[in-house]
Chains A and B, each alone.
Chain A
Amino acid sequence: MRPFKYNRPLDLATASNAGTSGSFIAGGTNLLDLMKCDVEQPSQLVDLNHLGLGSISETADGGLELGALATNTTTAYHPIVQERYPILSRAILAGASPQLRNKATNGGNLLQRTRCPYFFDTDSPCNKRVPGSGCPAKEGYSKLHAILGASDSCIATHPSDMCVALRALDATIRVSGPHGERRIEFADFHRLPGDQPEIETSLEKGEVITAILLPADGFADNFAYFKVRERASYAFALVSVAAVARLEGNQLKEGRVALGGVAAKPWRDLEAESLLCDQPCNAETFGNFADALLQSAKTYPGNRFKVPMARAAIVRALSEATHLNQL
């Protein structure tokens, strides 16, 4: 590891300022690993753990505010999250391990970096790590890689489970930076790679995520988080699906589906979702929707399986969310 300075600010303004020339650290479960691999080389670490950003509270509009520094464990087991936003709880608990979740924070989870193995291996080329060096994943190891929204320069995915649920719930992110506070819609938070895969979010230098805001509706009656992975636990998603729905009898009024493990951001296709509007709840509806969503999928030699797998996972998640099997 390269030597670095450690800074522990006690207020947001100081943190933001320090952050313009250093890296924030929250739980450190991702950043420290990357520093050990020499992928991240911050000269200064700015510790966010002493800014009082760890609480979870209800908001005036009936929603819930998740402090950026609340841990994944605290969040997943919070009674309001469990009762009103069970999909979020489910998604968080589908990720990592208890030890990691005890340390991992909500803000850090949003900003965790890709699990592309070339990205971690500094002796391999990688456009995200060293712009212009190439992308060996396209012809190589690409199980964990994108089939949607990728570019020629990078096909990495965002590995989070939590974010997939947040996208389905239409969360908002509150950030605070050198120029004050602002809110970012979840859909606009992560970026697709284009020809600058090294830029992954719309955060500005020095901006701290302070909270994640959940809208009032948590779809507690009709939800599913379905994760396909290579072992029963402690593996990143090949494909994951967060599905929520609003039903009237057997009629689907609204359905939202976010996919993980298939793109550089949790993937939603609002146009395709119109196929879930005012439709009967059945395998055909779900299949048509899945086909529309996956229409623009582009695969690579190592991840062709992901299209049929994603299709199956979408149908499965929607069936579960709408209790189709029990109908």
Chain B
Amino acid sequence: MPTKHIGQPYDRSDARDKVLGRATYTAEHLVPDLLHGHVISSKIACGRITHLNTDHALKIPGVIAVLSHKTDFKTARFDLSYKDMDSPPGSPFRPFSTPEVKFAMQPIALVVAESTELARYAARLVEVTYEVDPHNTDLMGSLSESKAGKGLRAGVESPSNRGDFRAAYNKSEVQTSSDYLHPSQHHNPMEMHASIVHYHDEKSLTIYDKTQGVKNSQHYVTMAFGLRKKNVRVLSPFVGGAFGSGLRPQYQLFLATLAALELKRSVKVQLTRPQMFSFGHRPKTHQTVSLGASRDGKINAIFHHAVGETSRFEDYIENVATWAAKLYDAENVEQQYRIVPLDTYTPLDMRAPGGASGLYALECAMDELATELKMDPLDLRLKNYSEEDPSAGKPFSSKALKECFAQGSTRFGWDSRHQRTDTPYGKHRGSGMATGIWDALQFPTRAAATLASDLKLEIRIATADIGTGTYTIMKQIAAEELGLPTESVDAKLGDTDFPFAFIQGGSATAASVGSAVRKACRKVQKQLLKEAGKMKNSPFQHADIDDVVFEDGLLKRKDDPQMQTSLKQIFADRDIDQIDKKCTWTPNLLKQRKYSMNTHSAVFVEVEVDADVGFVSVERVVVAVAAGRILNPKTARSQILGGVVWGISMALHEESYMDNSLGRFINHDFANYHIPVNADIKDIEVIFVEEDDTVVNPLGVKGLGEIGLVGVPAAVANAVFDATGKRVRELPITPDKLFAEP
């Protein structure tokens, strides 16, 4: 329920700065005497460098150095020193450590020059010869070589099984089984990855890095280069999108640091758009979903098997095949996720990693079953609705999915969807729906708050705002707690000098950072109350924190609001300049252990298909989201809109095309890597079904970064089927696929 600041549709507090170009992004920071590095990317996918001739490049005036595996430099020896907060099990890639090439576009040299143009030009003059080994980048040709991934990683769980799928499936009255495929995709935030390393001396650096977690970058750099944390400050106050690409420190950070330390100069390295296709991506994944049900639509057997790609050096796994067991109450469930090591870079969490992929297949399979049963797809979902989480044997902390179905379908007009008659000539309309689910994660987070005597409040946390609205909600929560206007609150983030926060991912930030802000502010409250109690004739002498409220810059007694004092007065009377508080917030694991915590969504989509040529247009999306309490309906809606656009993009547009004979992603620019343009995005309606959840955290917040996306690709694919009668089981559903010869 909205209160004074929480739940109010505040504008994004950094919006004006962004629009006016005053928000400084990583590559824009001005550092004196800066050198510029340009990365040379490997032409081959597998093999080794035999010669690297830099003579021509170094002859150009203004070119300072060319660094490569031939450079004699010292970094840490063991893999452990290269691990970051999001590393999968394995040996992290170390640039320039050997002449070996493990993937196409691997960084093999860095040209450093006085300007970026010079560096780029000189890079063309470096001659590289290779010894080429055969490569394999073909997932579909290698499915039989799949293996189980070893080890785990934050947020990744093992697929669970129950009952006996095979036996139950064989006995089922109705059986459906289909294979689904989606391609690799790259995050491609608008802002290219960049790092500026401001060199102070061989031990101390200030680094601007495009990252989703400054502490992660700091950890990586200090470990890899043997530096001390107190001497390496990493800043990233504004991030031009990331979607997961900044969850791991990318190689430009390593290279810029290496160059700065080697050359004893400040260095900037910014990747090009094609190079944005040279590191982590959503893995291409092949999935099989089989469902066994009775004639009346009760599902008793679910099989969800996924095989995704990984690199030769790390076992990247994600939660692709874990959702069916949570969403549906079938008694027999078999889920499995396997990986195939290929000669590519390690995949990397990309918005709703695993969920976007897994729910695409699962929710299309549900639609196929509904078709087979001649049952309304929504009824099928209701019939198999899990009230509790059968995969964990625990209740959900809250699950308003039924309400999402109800509100979403009403708003969409689901029941009258086939009564339309106004479809233009040659076009077919169709509707589809799907369910979305995502985790309500949270991580321990620290925060600092400083309240000055003029009632300016500053909140500091080393978290990130990758465009999600973190700054804005930090201010709202702090303002709410201390009864101040949001304009009095300054939120600061993206700086390792601030207290610890985990990388911004997994939709965990609003809940974790928000809770830490609240806790820090509560500490300030207590101090204020204590000081007020010491004032002359204070009505607050023996007051408990629960007996008072902070409102409009005043401290008031709840039982008698006339008994009040202004906060300013407290500072004046007590002769204090400011109050400083720090805190560590940790999720209440004791309480949480008894529950499964998830967000849910119901997605309804209407498409129009130009059947002559296979062109799909998403005319209308209604998405109802249950994600706890909504801190700010405006920024929340933006998150969901963005998620829906991503879902449409995944369904219809995005594909990193791997040319298996060259072993390269070949469409590595925005002319050929398609995302929707404005004209592709029409009506999107977002409904929030608020949940009162006291388990997740005291704020009741679950996180919205990913729930807007999951569910959408399947709903679009299902609508395309409804419109055309064609099941395209391979994303993206581009015109060529609707034309594919049988």
Contacts and interface: CB of A to CB of B under 8 A. Distances in A.
A21 B161 CA distance: 71
Contacts of A123: 41, 43, 104-105, 664
B669 interface: yes
Among all A-B residue pairs, the 8 with the closest Cβ atoms: A232-B679, A305-B739, A123-B43, A305-B736, A233-B679, A312-B612, A140-B659, A228-B613
Nearest to A308: B739
Interface in A272-327: 303-306, 308-309, 312-313, 315-316, 325
Interface string A233-258: 11110110000000000000000000
Contact of A141 (B120, B666, B680): B666
Contacts of A236: 671
Contact of A117 (B667, B680, B740): B667
A232 B677 contact: yes
A117 B672 CA distance: 7
A235 B680 CA distance: 12
A305 B666 contact: no
Interface string B705-742: 00000000000000000000000000000111101110
Contacts of A271: none
A62 interface: no
Interface string B520-554: 00000000000000000000000000000000000
Interface string A209-237: 00000000000000000001111111110
Interface of B: 41, 43, 104-105, 117, 120-121, 124, 274, 425-426, 612-615, 617, 652-653, 657, 659, 661-662, 664, 666-669, 671-672, 674, 676-680, 734-737, 739-741
Given A121-B668, A305-B740, A309-B735, A316 B612 contact: yes
Contact of A139 (B117, B661, B672, B737): B661
B contact face: mostly helix, strand, loop, or mixed: loop
A228 B736 CA distance: 10
A124 interface: yes
Interface of A: 1-3, 38, 115, 117-118, 120-121, 123-124, 136, 139-141, 143, 228-236, 238-239, 303-306, 308-309, 312-313, 315-316, 325
Contacts of B664: 121, 123-124
A316 B613 contact: yes
B672 A115 contact: yes
A234 B673 CA distance: 12
Contact of A115 (B117, B668, B671, B741): B671
A133 to B, nearest CB: 12
Nearest to B615: A228
27 contacts: A3-B121, A117-B666, A117-B669, A118-B666, A120-B669, A121-B668, A123-B43, A124-B662, A124-B666, A139-B661, A140-B659, A140-B662, A140-B666, A143-B736, A228-B613, A229-B615, A230-B674, A231-B653, A231-B674, A233-B680, A239-B613, A305-B614, A305-B740, A308-B741, A309-B735, A309-B736, A309-B739
A231 B680 contact: yes
A206 B679 CA distance: 41
A40 B104 CA distance: 23
B612 A313 contact: yes
Nearest to B272: A36
Contacts of A303: 736
